[in-house]
Structure 1
């Protein structure tokens, strides 16, 4: 294997095996393209269950109704990233506090082509620290 291929494989494994953070790749519409061990541990879905779904399903119904997921995507498009702390849904409907960061990904022409979404589960006491 060439050095570049080895580095790419190591990079993929690094992301895949991180357990304290959900690291998710989204397409331009918010469809989930990749899933790591941290995402499975935090959100409860196995990769084969969640790929192809929209990230909106992690948000509380009232936040979906208010358009929060779309607002965060738009903010990331305009500003490069969007941060938010709030209640999120796990598989089965249980609720957790999550700190999220959505970062826009750009092509060589500067056009947004997708997003990374980083989520960390926090306890209620940590919500005031952000």
Structure 2
């Protein structure tokens, strides 16, 4: 999945959740996704194949959280942590997890930094600034 469409991403999570519930064998990526899905029970109904969430156009203006985007960001951050890219993110995550009390909460804090970094890149038309991204994470990790 290097540049999946919106429908491909949604299908991936729906199929992963179906396989998880059926006890089917999961690929390594699906196993990571299934762990994140399990940790977000508020999204389980949205991952039912017949659910209108498949076609839903989530809008922050309507106060909606896009479960597919949220889970995708968890996957992206998990990958970044696994390879420590950008360098230092793993150590910053560990400090955040210690400060916030859980790895999951640390990922949510990092997710805010990632969202801000991606928004800035879209706004400026430039590639994401990984130095600024890591700096945002470091700032959160060092807060008292």
TM-score where L is the length of structure 1: 0.27
Structure 1 or 2: more helix by fraction: 2
The structure with the greater share of residues assigned to strand is 1
Query: Higher relative contact order at CA 8 Å, sep ≥6: structure 1 or structure 2?
Result: 1
